[in-house]
A and B are shown apart, each in its own frame.
Chain A
Amino acid sequence: MSRLLPSRFIFPLVIILLSYIFLFKSSFVRADYQKAYTDYTYSYSLYRQAHNDYQIAKSTFLTYRTLVSQNEAINKLRAVLKARDQVILSYYNLLQEKMNATEGLNSEAKNTFFEIKNSELAWLAGHQTKIEAASSLEDLSSVSGEFESRYSQIDTETKQTIGAILSAKEETLSKKVSTLSTNVSEKLTEIRQAGEETAVLERGLINVNNKLTLHSEKMTQVKSVFTAADSYRGIDLFRGQQRLTEANQYLREAVNFLLEIIKSITG
């Protein structure tokens, strides 16, 4: 039996293949996210269309009260309820892909969301079955009410996930700033040991550390915004984003102080 591939070529090919996978993994992740976003926007456009169609059918039924208009309203209501579920389903997929593409999120957070997503998808699957089984406007309205009741939980879960994603981005930057601050401090020690005056520069490092402390306190506020879920009002996404922007400002100031220190050395 002739070998299709000599054995001496197999190992290099495996190495090349693995390198290809690792080198382009990030682009694969981005492609997955882009695909998920495309699916989500498409689902949402279908929902908007179904919603418009339903509004027309509902208006017609409420005006004429004929059997035909009632049946049409039932069909359109069923379609929009299914489309609405589909939007949520694709939204959860979008968030999952965004988590996968975000640097700094640990696997525990991703796995937790994966389980939450599966739980919601299971509920949505059951909800879709009820939509299919409902044959009257009353039944469909009742099924819609179940979604409305469930939505507060969906809203909390998704906003907490958004908070985790945004916080991870900010924390990643914060770690980089801390690392560079440590490197600058080590360089100042080297300069001082070389016999040069560094008192002023080291005072600048105190300012940097103060900014990093303020950043840390602000991130604590961010965490409290995204974890405190008032059952009535839900998570205030805008307030969380505001706190993150304020935390980001502290990082900018810390980097500016570090750059001033370096400029004082280089002239």
Chain B
Amino acid sequence: MDQERATPPQLAPRTYQFSPRQTRPDYSLWLILGAALLAIVIIVIVAVVGLKIILSSFKMPSPPPAPLPPTPEVKVAPKSPRFATDAGVLKLREDLVSLGAQIDSVDLIEPQISPPALDLSIGIEPESRN
């Protein structure tokens, strides 16, 4: 009986059983990569735009345009040297100019012969007469 009290019962070693750890996919790497890519793109855009602004501000002013030499009056050569002074052609031009003036000045309204404004219902109404 003392031996039984002296030595406590030996318990089986407690082993803790854990459920296997659920491994989550490692997004952190992708996030880092995406953020880096975005940063690179933004930096490139800003760099290009900034460069353009800087370059345009450093653009050399163009020299003032030199005054053009006076153009000599060149008479346009007629298309038909032979007929340019032809009497028939000149007569046609004269007739066309005259006819053009007639067409422009023709009166197609003729207010003088417009119908007169008349009062058609001029009598006294029957109920008014009584």
**A residues near B, CB below 8 A?**
37, 40, 44, 47, 51, 54, 58, 61-62, 73, 77, 80-81, 84, 87-88, 91, 94-95, 98, 137-138, 140-142, 144-145, 147-148, 151, 155, 158-159, 162, 165-166, 169-170, 173, 176-177, 180, 183-184, 187, 190-191, 194, 196, 237, 241, 244-245, 248, 251-252, 255-256, 258-259, 262-267
Contacts and interface: CB of A to CB of B under 8 A. Distances in A.
B93 A95 contact: no
A234 to B, nearest CB: 10
A165 B103 contact: no
B96 A81 contact: no
A138 B126 contact: yes
A244 B115 CA distance: 18
Interface string B25-46: 0000000000000000000000
A267 B126 contact: no
Majority-rule SS of A interface residues: helix
Interface residues of B, number: 44
Contact of A137 (B85, B90, B106, B123): B123
Interface stretch (B8-16, B60-68, B72-80): B72-80
Contacts of A81: 122
Nearest to A177: B99
Contact of B82 (A95, A169, A196): A196
A37 B120 contact: no
Interface of B: 76-80, 82-86, 88-90, 92-93, 95-97, 99-100, 102-104, 106-110, 112-116, 118-126, 128-129
Contact of B129 (A80, A137, A158, A265): A137
B112 to A, nearest CB: 6
The 8 closest A-B pairs by CB, nearest first: A267-B78, A141-B123, A144-B123, A148-B120, A244-B108, A255-B100, A262-B93, A266-B84
B58 to A, nearest CB: 52
A259 B99 CA distance: 11
